[in-house]
Chains A and B, each alone.
Chain A
Amino acid sequence: MSDIRLADPTPVQLLAEDGTLTEHPVFSQYIEALDDEVLRELYRHMVLERRFDAEATSLQRQGMLALWVPALGQEAAQIGAIAALEQTDRVFPTYREHAMALYRGITPEELMGTFRATRHTGWDPHAFNFNAYSVVLASQVMHAAGWAMGIKQDVATGTLGEGRPDDELVLACLGDGATSQGDAHESMVFASSYELPMLYFIQNNHWAISVPQETQSRVPLAHRAAGYGFEGMRVDGNDVLATFAVTRYMAEQIRAGSGPKLVEAVTYRIGAHTTADDPTKYRTSEELDAWKSRDPIARYRTWLESRSIIDAAYTEQVDQEAAELAKQLRIAVRSMESVQLERVFDTVYAEPHRQVETEKAWLKDYEAGFAEEEEGADT
């Protein structure tokens, strides 16, 4: 039996809230290895997502989206983690990983299909190595373990898909609330038993809708990893550099065959759980203000500016790009066309299936049985 140490309850932090960088014996090297362009990109992606997020919230308030799930405040956790991985690593997101999705190149239009209710999933998960959003809490954690088992077996049998590296890892995203789901437990048991190449990435945003994190767990969530027999670590999720460094550190070990790891990014959901939620009913404005002062973008920008990695021209340029992104999001949402019901049948099974085909034919026949109401319509 291996002996797993409990995670340090104090989250790893490199960038203090005032924007000063501190040295860390293990993690500083991961940041020192980055060139300025990468550092700028981290900033750019966080700003873009924040503007995107605000526009989406407005669009929902204007009746243009059925629902929106704001990621406001969690930009550093998401960008730090996704930037530390390879494009070939498979991500299993919750429904709030918008910064990760945009980082991977998923377009606003593709991302919004589900929220506009015109698509089950707007993007091809294989094209971005980014799975469909999962609204069923913690279900994606199981899928992630299954995918990792597949990778492991493909490597063992030499049947990895073309172009796939043999050290691919799986990022299983989950929130603090989802850790209370049975699925999270089962996934971690399997990951440990099979020594799967998985990184569990918990964004502990402190609120599972209206249930505070202290109710979900009396110990840091990262401690749970030790119970399954693997390492967990806490990181300041509002510190993009620390999140990047810790994620890359963990990823290196997973690629080297360590088996699963867990990172708990301690962050805060500044916005509502979804646009159908009113957080003022269950949390205080004092708490909210305290977290607003730990804003992930502000502290990173302060540091970048202090190192002259970015200047006013750059931030202005990014703001303009963000405004354009918001504008394009608005246009994309407004021009989305409804899903064709028949398409639903085409994505049930990978191969043609007689019953599904029968039902599709029936629907087509049924639909064709209505009188056309306008002249010039098709026959």
Chain B
Amino acid sequence: MSQTFNLPDVGEGLTEAEIVSWRVSQGDTVDVNDVVCEIETAKSLVELPVPFAGTVQELVASEGETIEVGQPLIRISEASGEAEQRPASEKENAEKFSSDPAAADTPKDSPTQEQKRGEDRSPKGSGEEQNQALVGSGPKADAPKARPRTRPAALDLVDVSDVGLSHGTSGDNGRSSHESRLSNHSAADVVRRAAPPVRALAKRFGLDVAQLIGTGHEGRITRQDVEAQAHQTSGSTQSPEVVSLYEGPREEQVKVRGVRKATALNVSASASEVPHVSVFKEVDITRTMELRTALRNDPSYKNLNVSPMLFAAQAIIRAARKNPQVNATWHDSHYTLCNYVNLGIAAATPRGLVVPVIHDAQAYTTQGLAAALTALTAEAREGKTTPAQMQGGTVSITNIGSLGLDFGTPILPPGQASIVVLGAVRTKPWVVEGQIVPRQIMTIGGSFDHRLIDGDLAGAFISEVASIMEQPGLLMT
């Protein structure tokens, strides 16, 4: 007869392990507790001793393979004369061995009816010798085994108001008090008689569940009972339509792939590695908006997308020159200052978030930058942005204003020290020379790599960007 040693859970709640090396080969003779292999779990390297003696019949898993807890590891053909491995004699030996039956609650008494039934539900061995493992080895631990119910359980445990003062009552009061409780309308009774969705339905109709008469099994209040009562109460011939906002399957598993997967990897790496710091500033960009109108009317900007982002991009290129650390990459032992601006433009596309880059953005004229932005945005929307176009960014912009938002703390793209966030342009009351006047206001802010950029530097940079947006004439300086 052969015995199978299944991969046990050697830690607490491990699910799998990798076979690092086998210490035995097929045909080898092993004794109980001989180490047969080394495995690596999520926690540690562990040497596994075999629970049987005999000859190695098969190494089921191979080196380098990762197998789940409970999967077969090695098969041993039983050595002769290993009587103690057999469950029947185990019982006898165990009884002989235990010293004092009265000393503790050892399970040596003949099994009661309940115990027998408990055994019936424990995992059963197949034809193969089982080693009654607790975790992993042997039959799959905790294999769920649903048995049909013959009758509903009486869930009358909630009412404990009359419980707890008297000692020594008989054990069956769960039943004896059952009848009396059926008649009252306590909260516990309601809980027992109406399921949560039914109670919720009654609440929507403004009905008191306690007053309803249940027509269901054992006096249960059903959905129909509630609807019938509601119908009666309203006197209407039409029962109100109950619409569920959440129709369809209760949960759905969606495979993570493509842009979603790349975004998830990037942001989790960045968020866990880079300490982010954010600053914001509200800016009056009325003059920028006036300039935008002027450019839109300029024939050389025909068909080009002239947005506040264009001016923000120009402002960032200027401000980064004055505050070079925002345009840098952190490498722990040193950081790289960039004497160019590769401007990443975060774009929400049907495929997900992509950040195409305008390389050497500092080399463009305003018109050229507008053209580049227009082309890049169109490509991104069409899903044509190539991975190469997303490489090498040094500073990025994200325009959450297009989503109607004002503030946000973006996660830095990997390798970048700054990302500027632009809010929506809103006409707001603003104080200009002592007068409250309507002006066009935008929140400008950003997230920064705090290892390199402290709040004062982030503030200086954002203030510089803000000054230019406030007075775009500064772009001519």
Contact = CB atoms under 8 A, between A and B. Distances in A.
Contacts of A365: 153-154, 174-175
Interface range on chain A (Cβ under 8 Å from partner):
35 or more
Contacts of A337: 107, 111, 115, 118-119
A361 B106 contact: no
B51 A64 contact: yes
Interface stretch (A3-11, A211-219, A303-311, A368-376): A368-376
Interface string A298-342: 000000000000000000000000000001101110111110101
A31 interface: no
Interface string B1-20: 00001101111100000000
A164 to B, nearest CB: 18
Given A62-B131, A64-B132, A110 B116 contact: no
A362 B155 CA distance: 8
Contact of A63 (B136, B163, B175): B136
A63 B91 CA distance: 20
A329 B274 CA distance: 53
B84 A366 contact: no
Interface in A42-92: 55, 58-67
A343 B105 contact: yes
A328 B90 CA distance: 9
A377 interface: yes
Given A61-B49, A63-B134, A370 B150 contact: yes
Nearest to A373: B147
Contacts of A327: 84
Interface stretch (B93-101, B194-202, B222-230, B400-408): B93-101
A378 B116 contact: yes
Contacts of B165: 354
Interface in A183-202: none
B10 A61 contact: yes
Given A63-B135, A354-B164, A358-B174, A276 B104 contact: no
Nearest to B8: A63
Given A365-B153, A366-B153, A354 B97 contact: no
Contact of B93 (A331, A359, A377): A331
A165 B204 CA distance: 69
Q: Looking at A118, A123, A278, A331, which has the most chain B CB atoms within 10 Å of its CB?
A: A331
A119 interface: yes
B150 A63 contact: no
Q: Looking at A119, A277, A369, which has the most chain B CB atoms within 10 Å of its CB?
A: A369
A117 interface: yes
B109 to A, nearest CB: 10
Contacts of A62: 5, 8, 48-51, 131, 133, 137
Contacts of B120: 372-374, 377
A276 B307 CA distance: 59
A323 B169 CA distance: 50
Contacts of A367: 114, 117
A109 interface: yes
A360 interface: yes
Given A64-B137, A110-B106, A365-B154, A334 B44 contact: no
Interface residues of B, number: 75
A274 B174 CA distance: 43
Contacts of B248: none
B153 A357 contact: no
A122 B100 CA distance: 13
Given A63-B9, A361-B175, A332 B32 contact: no
Given A63-B133, A127-B104, A278 B157 contact: no
B45 interface: yes
A277 B10 CA distance: 10
A378 B113 contact: yes
A23 interface: no
B61 interface: no
A58 B49 contact: yes
A152 interface: no
Contact of B90 (A128, A276, A335, A338): A335
Nearest to A347: B105
Interface string A114-140: 001111001110011000000000000
A258 interface: no
A157 interface: no
A182 interface: no
B356 interface: no
Contacts of A67: 12
B132 A332 contact: no
Nearest to A272: B44
A292 interface: no
B30 to A, nearest CB: 13
A353 interface: yes
Contacts of B304: none
A107 B12 contact: no
A354 B169 contact: yes
B135 A109 contact: no
Contacts of B111: 337
A330 B32 contact: yes
Contacts of A105: 99
A64 B51 CA distance: 9
A227 interface: no
16 contacts: A63-B135, A107-B106, A109-B98, A122-B105, A124-B105, A277-B44, A278-B44, A278-B45, A331-B94, A354-B163, A355-B160, A367-B117, A369-B149, A369-B150, A374-B120, A378-B113
Given A62-B8, A64-B51, A361-B171, 12 more contacts: A105-B99, A123-B104, A128-B103, A280-B44, A327-B84, A352-B167, A357-B173, A358-B160, A358-B173, A370-B149, A371-B147, A372-B120
Interface of A: 55, 58-67, 105, 107-110, 116-119, 122-124, 127-128, 275-278, 280-281, 327-328, 330-332, 334-338, 340, 342-343, 351-355, 357-362, 365-367, 369-374, 377-378
